[in-house]
Structure 1
């Protein structure tokens, strides 16, 4: 009688020892170089990006090259490791172009096989930005510029982190994706709700570009990875706001009792804790799917449909439960609320992802 067949390995969403070590290293760095008063001060200046921190993350720790193969001077890691980094960056609302350059632009270049640019981005000395508006979902239409006589003409709005990019990846009407030297374009910063991830308008007036490959598959791959790993940033943000709120409510007293001891408050926090834990599961599933190439579209849409509203609610609860101090500019909770609000429409709204998920699982609306 034959014994049972081989047991299929189930996906392990727990953090590995290496991932926990990476988390500890990134958190230590952010603790030393990305405190809340410093981030707030940067949002009040003309240089909101923390390029010294970016240099420490990239040149010092090699984190810009996590998704780049080792033969191209990258780390040859996976989306799981990049997700851990984004969790920590979300906890600190760090004003660095990690998601836009080390994930989105890098994924577009991987789709095109642009080895020299990938080497540049992997070192962190070059920052890339995909010139597609931040609110565009992976399968949605996006604006393109005109390609005529070898030159690019047009205007693209809502481009995240374009102000610090060295190379812009620009989709054109001929179906190509072009690499453009950022100094040849006119990049005009725009006022954004989230001051830690600034937006800009990119204007191309007869600018030369290097054809990298087909835009559609590259943009789709890049935006899908961006949406999937954004959930990890949203989880980090939600976890910080919940933890900080619980800590504060243990200290704040009314009627000579800690506010956190009131039953109604405890119920609100318990419900929020459950949602944050579920967000971690959804985000880890998306990162693991991207790393393994299995059920990627479903995992990404589920993660974004769930994580975005939880991050917003966690930040809103943090602001309300901090009382008067939460309404001040000096307290960092407003940074988290603004980041959560903008993240909730980045790479597609929760509604757009739910609609995409319904089509993926053949669950049509009534």
Structure 2
């Protein structure tokens, strides 16, 4: 498994992000999520045709050969449009599978272990058979394969690839309409070992790094969209014969939300200009995910104050974006855990230099 390459063509990332945004608008998102059971049948194939599943897959492997800039651009658009697919999971898994031919630009992948304290603890691999509970999996109904962290019978950590049809899924209710979680369980399911030992640990860290960058970008897209919606609303809504946005207290709220979203933008620009592998990438991915999880929630709460009573209704767009922020806050590492890990690494570095 080698590092993801970045084609770095000027303007390509922006074009890809714009194409993703146009696609989501054309498919009616996020309004389409208001249906009790939105039909997403075939949506993953449309996403594959657009090239989004293969954003980090090399061109020779059937992808578009992108890197950090393309990843950030795509997921900012996904945040604004609320795509109800496990795209981040699929892209993150493909980043470590494509070089060995296990993933291409058409394969929808799901991940186990993203929301557990110890991702390796749930399943055991015995030869080419896997057994155990893998925890919550997002988008199992549309995935082709699952990437599962597990132990093998020799006591080594492994990453196993399992066909989605070989798992038993128990759906779990969620308020986030973009999120379709299910508990995954295996009973002697056929599995392919794709990495073992130190290689598996390195590959899993890369999966988390890519996922955290995607989550930070998605949260940034959401935050910017909420600022746009809230500012437009207070410019139109009148009270005492004046737009409510003309009152100083509301202006302060708008400024706070816009400033926070701008800080998230700055972090995303740093991510887009960096790499996807190595300790520096891990540090920035962890920092951005922790900050953007808290910042997006802050923007949403401020937007709720600006919208007033209408923001509490199920018919308002905020009712779609707010649960997604909460879901992303928990996935790929919650902010408190990431901040604790960042602090521990900083302290260890300082002691090492003294």
- TM over 0.5, shorter chain: yes
2:68 aligned with 1:82, yes or no?
no
Residue aligning to 1:210: 192
The Cα shift of 1:311 comes to: 0.8
- Structure 2 regions of 5+ residues with no counterpart? 1-8
The whole-number CA distance in structure 2 between the counterparts of 1:325 and 1:364 is 49
Does residue 191 of the first structure (1) align with residue 173 of the second (2)? yes
Q: State whether structure 2 residue 122 is matched by structure 1 residue 133.
A: no
| Partner Cα distance (1:100, 1:49) in 2 | 20
Partner in structure 1 of residue 88 of structure 2: 99
Answering whether residue 97 of structure 2 is matched by residue 109 of structure 1, we say yes
TM-score (norm 2): 0.88
Distance 1:327 1:273 in 2: 21
Q: Partners of 1:22 and 1:91 in 2: how far apart?
A: 14
Give me the whole-angstrom Cα distance separating, in 2, the residues matched to 1:20 and 1:109.
Answer: 26
SS in 2 for 1:158: strand
Q: Which residue of 1 aligns with 2:160?
A: 178
1:167 is matched with which residue: 145, 156, 160? 145
> Are positions 1:285 and 2:263 aligned together?
no
Confirm or deny: 8 A CA contact 1:163 1:189 kept in the other structure.
no
State the distance in 1 between where 2:161 and 2:138 align.
16
Q: For the residues of structure 2 that align with 1:311 and 1:239, how far apart are their CA atoms?
A: 9
Which of 22, 34, 45 lines up with 2:16 in the alignment? 22
Aligned length: 336
In the other structure, the counterpart of 1:261 is 246
User: Which residue pairs with 1:342 in the alignment?
Assistant: 327
Change (3 A) 1:322 1:201: same
Q: Is the 8 A contact 1:49 1:95 kept in 2?
A: no
Structure 1 gap segments, 5+ residues each: 1-14
Q: Say if 1:232 and 1:284, in contact at 8 Å, map to a contact too.
A: no
Q: CA deviation at 1:178?
A: 1.4
Q: What whole-Å deviation, never above 9, does each CA across 1:166-222 have from its counterpart, x for those lacking one?
A: 111122211221111111110121112322122110010111111111232222210
SS of equivalent residue, structure 1 residue 353: helix
CA shift in 2, pair 1:211/1:30, >3 Å: same
CA shift digits 1:95-151 (9 cap, x unpaired): 1221111x22112325xx431x222xx12xx31112113365xxx654331223542
The list of structure 1 runs, each at least 4 consecutive aligned residues, that deviate by more than 4 angstroms after superposition, is: 291-294
Tell me how far apart the structure 2 counterparts of residues 149 and 21 of structure 1 sit (CA, whole Å).
45
Counterparts in 2 of 1:239-278, with a 5 A limit?
Answer: 239-278=224-263
Cα deviation digits, residues 20-43 of structure 1 (max 9, x gap): 2223222222111133331121xx
In structure 2, C-alpha distance between the alignment counterparts of 1:363 and 1:334, rounded to whole Å: 42
Separation in structure 2 between the aligned mates of residue 16 and residue 178 of structure 1, nearest angstrom: 37
Q: Distance in 1 between matches of 2:116 and 2:274?
A: 22
SS for the counterpart of 2:316 is coil
- Contact persistence 1:100–1:161 (CA under 8 A): no
CA distance in 1, matches of 2:115, 2:224: 24
Report the TM-score, using the length of structure 1 for normalisation. Answer: 0.85
Match of residue 54 from structure 2: 65
Note if contact 1:23-1:85 (Cα within 8 Å) is conserved in structure 2: yes
SS in 1 for 2:195: strand
Quote how far apart the aligned CAs of 1:364 are: 9.2
After superposition, the Cα gap between the structure-2 partners of 1:273 and 1:100, relative to the gap in structure 1 and judged at 3 Å, is same
* Contact persistence 1:104–1:129 (CA under 8 A): no
Counterpart residue number, 1:201: 183
Q: Give yes or no for contact 1:185–1:202 (8 Å, CA) kept in 2.
A: yes
Checking the alignment, whether the CA contact within 8 Å between 1:84 and 1:232 is kept in structure 2 is yes
Q: Name whichever of 48-57 and 231-240 sits farther off.
A: 48-57
| Residues 156 and 275 (structure 1), Cα distance of their counterparts in 2 relative to 1, 3 Å cut | same
- The aligned residue for residue 31 of structure 2 is 37
Q: SS state of the match for residue 63, structure 1?
A: coil
- The answer to whether residue 132 in structure 2 is matched with residue 146 in structure 1 is no
1:135 & 1:153 partners in 2: Cα distance? 17
SS in 1 for 2:188: strand
